[in-house]
């Protein structure tokens, strides 16, 4: 005989199996060169898929929006150039996520990988001006949002 799940049990299942999107960044030295890799990624650490409805890149509190036909390299270069204090850009690779965008459990999506040069304290100061604002839904149409500020690492 099949066991019935009550409303409380269903709510618990949804909480346990919900998507959990996190933004991670790391800064590491480039071997053999004076410079750093700055990598920012989005990861679904939850147990179900999430659908990204909105993703905005904020620099100093202002949204930096890609132009309609702007190449991704140009967009991320423009983002890097809008950081304050200015950073030396050696190379930038990345992608632009255009919602709606589904992200599976455990999936990692790299937003960008920038090779930068300059003083590490100035790079950290520039990194703190960037934030990622995400709104997403679960398979049950529950809405979630996260504003990840690299300024504090707070979510």
Q: What is the pLDDT of residues 83-118, one digit of tens each?
A: 999 899 999 999 999 999 999 999 999 999 999 998
Region of poorest pLDDT, from 33-37, 53-57, 101-105:
33-37
- Give residue for tokens 């398979």: 139
What the chain holds in terms of domains, given with CATH numbers, is 19-149 (2.60.40)
pLDDT at 108 (0 to 100): 95
pLDDT tier, 5 (very low <50, low <70, confident <90, very high otherwise): low
Q: What does the block give as tokens for 53?
A: 């409805």
Confidence check: pLDDT of 75 > 50: yes
**Reduced to 3 states, what is the DSSP secondary structure of residue 98?**
coil
Confidence check: pLDDT of 80 > 60: yes
Confidence check: pLDDT of 153 > 90: no
pLDDT at 120 (0 to 100): 83
Q: Percent of the chain, pLDDT > 90?
A: 54
Please state, in angstroms and rounded to a whole number, the distance separating the CA atoms of residues 91 and 37. Answer: 9
CA dihedral (112, 113, 115, 118) positive or negative: positive
- Give residue for tokens 């202002």: 62
């Amino acid at each position: 005989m099949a066991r019935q799940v009550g409303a409380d049990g269903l709510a618990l299942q949804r909480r346990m199996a919900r998507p959990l999107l996190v933004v991670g960044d790391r800064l590491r030295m480039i071997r053999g060169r004076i410079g750093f890799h700055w990598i920012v990624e989005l990861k679904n650490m939850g147990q179900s898929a999430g659908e990204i409805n909105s993703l905005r890149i904020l620099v100093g509190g202002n949204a930096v929006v890609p132009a309609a036909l702007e190449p991704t390299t140009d967009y991320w270069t423009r983002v890097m150039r809008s950081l304050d204090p200015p950073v030396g850009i050696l190379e930038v690779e990345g992608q632009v996520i255009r919602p709606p965008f589904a992200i599976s459990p455990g999936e990692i999506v790299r937003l960008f990988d920038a090779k930068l040069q300059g003083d590490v304290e100035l790079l950290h100061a520039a990194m703190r001006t960037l934030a990622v604002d995400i709104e997403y839904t679960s398979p049950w149409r529950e809405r979630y949002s996260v504003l990840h500020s690299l300024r504090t690492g707070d979510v």
